[in-house]
Amino acid sequence: MSATGGRGPLGRALAALGGGAFLRESASYAASTAAEQGSRLVTGLVVAGMLGPERWGYWFLLNLVLSYGALLHLGTLNGMNREVPAALGREEPERAVRLERVTLGALLASVCGAALLLAALSAWPAVREALPPRDGFLMLGLLAAHQLYAFVTMRGRSRMRFGLVSRQQAFFAVLHPLFAVGGAWAWGLSGFIVGQALAYLVTVAATSRGGWGLPRPELSVHEWRALVGVGLPIMLVGVVHTFFTTVDRWIVVRFLGVEALGHYSLAVMTVSAVRLLPQVFEQQTYPRMAFAWSSRRDAAELRRLGARQSSLTFASAALVSVPAAVLAPVVVHAWLPEYAPGLGALLVALSVPFATGVGRGYGNVLNVIGRQSVYLTSILGATAVNAVASLALVGPLGLTGVSLGTALGFHALSLGLLGFGGRALARAAEEAPAAARTTAG
């Protein structure tokens, strides 16, 4: 064994990781993430102004196709995100490559399955009325492009190659407004959808070079089942979390209408932008947790990484949310006055990033140690809080009431993760083999 512990470059990088190194890496990755999310936000605001609240509200309903359609791979992508760094932690690089090939094959197969499902559903008059076939198949193309982009970025994160992911995100940040706004200007909502798909595809084609091309897709039922076995519980958490984060939209549409959803979209887009820094810290931390847990069952390292993620999330929320609350009324009244009815909901929603900072780090911990049932229980409880509070407040307070109910749901989720996550990690550490816990780095 070498002086560095014989773990190779990834092991040495993890062992040497300190707060300064992490923050330096974060600066580059955060800059590209900020550029990407800022590009999405500005593009959305411009196109919202072009289409108007009612048409933009319809887009937010269509956008649920991406949220729910991304679940058709049954957690394969989630499994890759945990198992690739775990394989590298066990010094099995060939295994990591095989997992990536099978994941890409499963994603392509899931898109084909989505096409068949959409074709079958389109035969029903009720479905055709709610989702015209042209819009449905345009969204299917966008889903395919989005999944391919998601694979490439997830692959880079899983291997902790955040510099490469940063370049990809920066490239997409330039293309997205060019294609999406240009498409919306030329062909309305249909052009907006096609433009987004082209931005994803061109980014993947342009950045998948120089020894980092797409792996050869592989169809293997055995390997796919293994990935689903790991990823499906994680994905189920994601399914419930997706419903948790979109229940407000359903309530707005049901009680206030599609145009009100267009007004409410400002809150959704702003919170997505404000949460970009917390997402940066989460995406950087997760593969490191999987690496550490796989290589030496180090509960102390997981606890340290989780606490750091939570602290950085809370600090970044204060850094971004407060200026956003000051600037939002000025921006809305100056450039998007027709969306002013959603301003109260936007201001309330800016408390959500603070809520996620309380216990979000333990969400990663629970996925790494395989305690998705605890995570799922926390989200289900928070979903109940979100739905009940939003339904109770939508009548007297309108959009602001729905936003307040959603914020209460996020606070409930964070408190649940904080309370249950630490106990679950302590139990997992006790159950780990003593030899694995004491193996030298």
Q: List pLDDT tens digits, range 343-366.
A: 999 999 888 877 776 677 777 788
| Share of the chain residues as helix, strand and coil, in percent rounded to the nearest 5 | 85, 0, 15
Torsional sign, CA 272, 276, 282, 287 = positive
The pLDDT of residue 16: 38
Six-digit token string for 404: 């307040």
CA pair distance 379, 162, nearest whole angstrom: 29
- What residues does each domain of the chain span? 8-438
How many other CB atoms sit within 10 Å of the CB of residue 81? Answer: 24
Token pair 């999330």: residue: 313
CA pair distance 285, 135, nearest whole angstrom: 37
The pLDDT of residue 210: 58
Instruction: State the Cα torsion 220-221-222-227 to the nearest 10°.
Output: 90
Six-digit token string for 257: 């209408």
Q: What angle do CA 231, 232, 236 make, to 5 degrees?
A: 120
The pLDDT of residue 348: 92
Distances (CA, A) of 43 to 31, 33, 48, 60: 18, 15, 8, 14
What three-state secondary structure class fits 222?
helix
The pLDDT of residue 180: 94
The pLDDT of residue 229: 84
Six-digit token string for 429: 């550490």
Asked whether 369 and 360 are in contact (CB, 8 A), the reply is no
Six-digit token string for 263: 């007004």
Provide block-wise average pLDDT over 10 residues at a time, the chain (441 residues).
41 43 66 81 88 84 77 82 83 87 88 79 70 80 91 86 83 93 92 94 82 79 84 78 84 89 84 72 76 75 79 78 87 86 91 75 78 84 93 94 93 85 76 48 40
Give the distance, in angstroms, between the CA of residue 159 and the centroid of all CA atoms in the same chain. 18
List of residues 6+ apart from 275 with CB closer than 8 A = 352, 353, 356
Give phi and psi for 396, each to the nearest 5: -75, -30
The pLDDT of residue 201: 94
Q: Is 308 exposed, middle or buried (0-12, 13-18, 19+ CB in 10 A)?
A: middle
The pLDDT of residue 433: 54
What three-state secondary structure class fits 3?
coil
